[in-house]
Amino acid sequence: MKEDILKNAADLFLNLGFKSVTMDDIAQQMAISKKTIYAHFSTKSKLVKATVDYLIKEIDLGISVLSSKKLNPIVETYEMKKYAMQILKNEKSSPQFQLKKYYPEVYYPLQERQFEIVQRIVIENLERGITTGHYKGDIPISFVSRIYFVGMLGTKDKDLFPEDEYSNAKLMDYFLRYHLSSICTEKGLKTLDELLKSNKQANEI
């Protein structure tokens, strides 16, 4: 039951927002009593934290599986972006922005966990990209991986990037192109160009 509550809560939180969804909403969606939810999570704040932990574990697991496939490093970057956005429902409710505003006690530990995951995955991707010749051999790996993390967080700031001008999907595409264009070799840029053309054609179908 506990995992079912987390799955349903995650679905509602990501689609409608952490602030607007109530315990009644979750109970109604699951056709159970609110008392049943409170038996597992005594407050909404505890449910929000547990849901965020559940989501970050799902993302970490899926990204680790992708990383183990040792894909072309540029392809891998886009596949990881696609997977994370699927889990987060394309971030329709701006989950990180809402967490920072309404649940800072959940947001800041989450940020530390995200940093650990991103560093591990991005550094491995950068090292492999250098080995395969897709990335420049002289890039400062630690610096680039940290700038990547800062940039990823920055795109979530709705004051800097208002939703009426920048959709989440558009922001991520802009950000990845910016990131990869700065570190790719000629070989990497060719792969990136082919991938972008392929993605564009797929979206037009």
The pLDDT of residue 202 is 62
Largest Cα span, the chain: 60
Q: Give residue 188's pLDDT.
A: 97
CA dihedral in degrees (4, 9, 14, 18; nearest 10)? -160
pLDDT at position 148 is 96
Nearest of 23, 62, 108 to residue 12 by alpha carbon: 23
Nearest CA-CA partner of 77 in 167, 166, 165, 199: 199
- Predicted confidence at residue 21, as pLDDT, reads 95
The pLDDT, as a whole number, for residue 204 is 52
Q: Check if the beta carbon of residue 82 is closer than 8 Å to that of residue 111.
A: no
Q: Which pLDDT belongs to residue 163?
A: 83
Q: Give this prediction's pTM.
A: 0.86
Model pLDDT, residue 184: 98
Predicted confidence at residue 27, as pLDDT, reads: 97
Cα–Cα dist 115/151, whole Å: 12
Q: 182: which 2 tokens?
A: 């700065």
Round to whole Å and give the CA distance between 168 and 172.
Answer: 6
Binned average pLDDT, 10 residues per bin, the chain of 205 residues: 95 92 96 95 96 93 92 95 85 80 92 93 97 97 96 88 86 93 97 89 58
Q: Spell out the domain ranges in the chain.
A: 51-204
Q: Classify domain 51-204 at the CATH class level.
A: mainly alpha
User: How is residue 76 written in tokens?
Assistant: 């891998």
